[in-house]
Structure 1
């Protein structure tokens, strides 16, 4: 909850939060870059402490990070809070995916997990402004941190998992396999680049600043709602027609939607991108092969490539803001993602891509 509200309030109220304006972008992006490394670095701790205990601790540190937002009066404390959140989120995300993949109905479980994860951010976006009207941003973070304590109750009710995974992690390759390359590109173009350039797509001399802000807020809210509502339904469908089938359809919709944006049909293109991404991001991990002992390494690698794609995409989006027209870049994105999807499905049975860990 705290992380979502921070993205909304820090760019506009950095002075009130005692954050120099030049450090705003750094604080908002550092957690994603840290997770690229943390996704693999935390794996041995699952074996040492167990999924249950590590998840419970991560839930607690996530709450602490939000409370720190409410008391931080120095840049160093802000950086510490963001690092704490980065490691907490890495553990919670990997744990939730691992628990979901242990069930028979993997699609539904993955979809529900993704949908439930979006309840907190949605509540933060709804309650944050209301709470903020009665106090300072610091006070709002303290309230959100207090509400987040409920996560400890849910974490304490998780099942104890006794089995351990293999400690022989595959060597990480800086050249991704076909599946992770596809995930990287999807995150780059949709989770990173598109989110950053939304306002630029609709910007014109006749568009009032308030109207532009409203459009961007609407599409970002739609993205959250689609993750919350569409992911479980897609998971239910995936258990009936297959995870790979639904994943392929979602990626195909991403390609068509990027093409729509490139041709100037912004509204259907953006909606299609966010709908497709809500499905592919939720169900993608379920297409990874391997047993319980090797799957966690594949998940960690896959999440790292997704985080890297989104982070670099956001940086690229910031660079594109300086161009007069950015439509041609979405036509290029369409072509590149289509080739990656074709390459993945042609190599899906090749042993080197079996676990999708690279």
Structure 2
């Protein structure tokens, strides 16, 4: 199928939301780079730095429902405008405030801002079924532009001016996102009825959890833990470049993943990429650290645009926004528990088993995502 180069309103809205997130996201990812290395200059211990870096995920787990309802009631323009302003305020706080209790409210505020931007980018990319995977891939590429540029720049500036000066520049950059968000739609979305009680996780929930647990948790911590002897004096510039390469992979490969999903089907591609990721994770645990790590980063970038179109196709009505939020919650739960599990088990158990078992579970969850549509279609026929 030939895709027309003409940009539809849905394409434009998806791109503008992604650009707004690209301008705001560096205020967070740069803190991940600098806070652990310069924790004393922020007035916190290393343990407190870990608490601050985890706080934004914890508030998202609790607050995604509120964000989804606010988003449905007020639309993309207002919530994204508030989010980029909040990101700018957080950056100013990182540049000026000191200590755990002064910085913690900023991390909670950023968690809600990220939830808003993340939800808007996914919802706008999947606003129409046609081309949803392609838009999701392109959206991920635009979002990654900000961190890919900011991380090496922040690492270099930290040497000459200290770790806090860069946040003034990032605050101004995030604030320019207001220009972009003014071009987003302001219409509200239908709000689904509130659900009572807890529901059991489905196959997409399990895959989201395991993907966050394994790739955003175990893998990232293991890369530092298992490869620490390679850079005995690990410089901030080296760390910044390595993190930037992760986002560069998203810029290049996420659009490719979206196009492949349009051609072969998102569920089938999810299973194929999960299987390849499983093999690489097993190799990573077996000792092929850097070769498998580079492949895992590439496979992760290809997988990023797949989940939102699957969710949107299965919940096309008013439930779509809340379904997208629910998948993000499960991923955050996995990404939050993964580092904790890595810190507990890596010093005690063989890395081979630490990575092999979650890798196999990831493939199992991906296979369940493929099986579910076929069963429903069988029942309809």
With normalisation by structure 1, the TM-score equals 0.89
Determine whether 1:284 maps to 2:307. Answer: yes
| Residue matched to 2:202 | 177
Cα distance in 2 for partners of 1:319, 1:87 equals: 29
2:131 paired residue among 105, 108, 112: 105
Decide whether the 8 Å contact of 1:55 with 1:91 is kept in 2.
yes
What CA RMSD, in Å, does the superposition of the two structures yield over aligned residues?
2.4
Determine whether 1:199 maps to 2:224. Answer: yes
- For residues 95-244 of structure 1, the aligned pairs below 5 Å read 95-103=120-128, 104-162=130-188, 164-171=189-196, 173=198, 175-203=200-228, 207=230, 209-210=232-233, 219-244=242-267
CA 250–343 in structure 1, closer or farther in 2 if over 3 Å, else same? same
Gaps of 5+ in 1: 352-358
Decide whether the 8 Å contact of 2:76 with 2:184 is kept in 1.
no
Determine whether 1:31 maps to 2:74. Answer: no
1:90 paired residue among 115, 138, 141: 115
Gaps of 5+ in 2: 1-25, 377-381
Q: Cα distance, 1:271 vs. partner?
A: 2.0
Which moves more between the two structures, 248-257 or 216-225?
Answer: 216-225
Cα distance in 1 for partners of 2:272, 2:237 equals: 30
**Alignment size in residue pairs:** 349
Q: Cα distance, 1:267 vs. partner?
A: 2.8
1:5 paired residue among 13, 30, 49: 30
Q: Cα distance, 1:203 vs. partner?
A: 4.8
| Residue matched to 2:270 | 247
| Residue matched to 1:343 | 368
- For residues 60-75 of structure 1, the aligned pairs below 5 Å read 60-75=85-100
Decide whether the 8 Å contact of 1:107 with 1:239 is kept in 2.
yes
CA 343–50 in structure 1, closer or farther in 2 if over 3 Å, else same? closer
Cα distance in 1 for partners of 2:237, 2:30 equals: 17
Cα distance in 2 for partners of 1:20, 1:216 equals: 20
- For residues 268-283 of structure 1, the aligned pairs below 5 Å read 268-283=291-306
With normalisation by structure 2, the TM-score equals 0.84
Q: Cα distance, 1:92 vs. partner?
A: 0.6
Which moves more between the two structures, 79-88 or 242-251?
Answer: 242-251
